[in-house]
Amino acid sequence: MKPARFTYHAPRELDEALELLRDLGDDAKVLAGGQSLMPMLNFRLAHVEHLVDINRIGARWASPTFGEDTITIPALVRQRQLERSAEAARLLPVLTEALHQVAHPQIRNRGTICGSLAHADPAAELPSVLTALGATFTLASARGIRTVPAADFFLFHLTTALEPDELLLEVSVGRPGANQYSAFREFATRRGDFALAGVAVVCEVDDGVVTACRIAAAGVAPTPQRLTDTEQLVLGQPLGPDLGAAAEATARAQVDPTGDIHASAEYRARLTGVLVKRALADITEKAHA
Ligand SMILES: Cc1cc2nc3c(=O)[nH]c(=O)nc-3n(C[C@H](O)[C@H](O)[C@H](O)COP(=O)(O)OP(=O)(O)OC[C@H]3O[C@@H](n4cnc5c(N)ncnc54)[C@H](O)[C@@H]3O)c2cc1C
């Protein structure tokens, strides 16, 4: 099927894009990689009067920066670009691990990191990863710039804190210390499908003991779900099989997913526990390597 008729805008500057979004308001949608928006328009699950294509707003928004304190991923960084970045793999391996499992390479070639975050599919990998990394979201509009923590960015299924005139300009995370270890685990019925559930775990480990921990699950709630009970459980504990087993039970009890034709609620809850256990086993291996 073809999309319903819309007016296409291709601004050449960020300011021009923001002015268009201000003037067009609710009638406009941002087009980044088009890997979620175009299928929705083609299937007529979504309708827009105006598309504001941000792909030409400048090379500055198409490269990540790995600063001394902060790593920043601007709006036009493609998923595949970051997946192939040696610097990202060294500093943010949890993101690289998750990116390998997002859709297929053709989709990752065009799809952007920020587009996936702005789309906010609860089963998507990247919202949970950026939540576990404690990311900060920079939102730009003609009114100015504001920053929002991950906890306040994802509001509901396909719903974020972005106002209609705002662009997700970039997402940033703190540069990790040498004692940060992380892992991403998911299960999907076919490679490239959305996961039935996934978990991102980011820990700080000193002498085999967990000194800080963030765990975020995908596919089990309308937004990425922080597994705070499980985080509390592992804090101050030595990594190892006993901790993995306890964390599995806690995570399973903490989530309350819904069931659908792909998996029952009970299955998704059990899966979440198993994935937490496996991610902690990965972290144990990395910390002891
Ligand atoms: C067959 C298929 C399988 C897929 N499987 C997976 C999967 O397993 N896991 C997964 O996570 N994703 C999957 N995806 C989705 C894919 O990752 C998309 O690339 C991503 O969700 C959207 O990124 P995009 O840059 O293409 O955004 P677009 O499609 O251009 O936009 C998506 C939405 O976000 C808004 N938007 C985009 N960028 C911005 C911005 N900077 N500021 C404000 N709003 C913005 C748009 O207006 C739109 O509402 C799949 C897609 C397809 C077609």
Ligand 1 pocket, 137 CB below 6 A? no
CATH fold of the domain at 7-53: 3.30.43
**Full-model pTM:** 0.97
Best residue among 119, 139, 148, 168 to mutate for probing ligand 1, ranked by most atoms within 8 Å of CB? 119
Residues 6 or more apart from 202 whose CB is under 8 A from it? 94, 132, 133, 134, 180, 181, 182, 213, 214, 215
Distance 118 CA to ligand 1 centre (A): 8
The pLDDT tens digits of the residues spanning 224-258 come to 999 999 999 999 999 999 999 999 999 999 999 99
Ligand 1 pocket, 33 CB below 6 A? yes
CATH class of this structure's domain 180-288: alpha beta
The pLDDT tens digits of the residues spanning 261-286 come to 999 999 999 999 999 999 999 999 99
**How many whole angstroms separate alpha carbon 62 and alpha carbon 58?**
7
- The ligand 1 atom at the shortest distance from the C-alpha of residue 188 is 8
Best residue among 47, 107, 130 to mutate for probing ligand 1, ranked by most atoms within 8 Å of CB? 107
- Looking at the chain, the domain(s) classified CATH 3.30.43.10 span 7-53
Tokens 């509901």 found at: 156
- Looking at the chain, the domain(s) classified CATH 3.30.390.50 span 180-288
Nearest in space to 177 (alpha carbons), one of 149, 155, 205 = 205
CATH fold of the domain at 59-174: 3.30.465
**How many whole angstroms separate alpha carbon 262 and alpha carbon 276?**
20
Q: Percent of the chain having pLDDT more than 70?
A: 100
Q: Whose CA is nearest to atom 11 of ligand 1?
A: 124
Distance 260 CA to ligand 1 centre (A): 22
